[in-house]
Amino acid sequence: MALGFVFLGYSGLVLSVSPHEIFPGVSLWDAAAPRSSQLFTIVGAAVILPVILPVILAYTTLGYWVFRGKVRHGELTTIERSKRAFWFVALWLADVGGAMLLALPFKLLIRAGAALH
């Protein structure tokens, strides 16, 4: 019920300012990016998401599996603590690496576009 009220509130806000959401006299369509920029973004997302999304889901699942269950102080041996610390660092590095891989194609395309001008 609360989500319904939030939805109705935002719907009323959008209807009250539509179609001049940006500035008076400037419609949403006037302020939109050029079609070529929008196509570039959607193609980039369509190419990258099928590659990155399974990686994100895999390391998130692995993280939940590694750190599952409640552990009280003193129940873990030093070796078990070391294993968990290793997996924590490995998952963090996978997260950083995934973000870098996600940004790399866009960085290369921007450089290639700058070289053309």
pTM score, two decimals?
0.37
Give, for all 117 residues of the chain, the pLDDT tens digit.
Answer: 788 888 888 888 777 767 666 666 777 677 778 888 888 888 888 888 888 888 888 888 888 887 777 666 667 778 887 888 888 888 777 777 777 777 777 777 777 776 665
Q: Which two tokens stand for residue 34?
A: 């050029």
For 75, the enclosing helix (H) or strand (E) is none
Contact assessment for residue 98 and residue 59, using Cβ atoms and an 8 Å cutoff: yes
DSSP summary character for residue 23: B
Contact assessment for residue 84 and residue 66, using Cβ atoms and an 8 Å cutoff: yes
DSSP summary character for residue 49: H
Which pLDDT value is given to residue 73? Answer: 66
Query: For residue 19, is the peptide bond before it cis, meaning its omega torsion is within 30 degrees of 0?
Result: yes
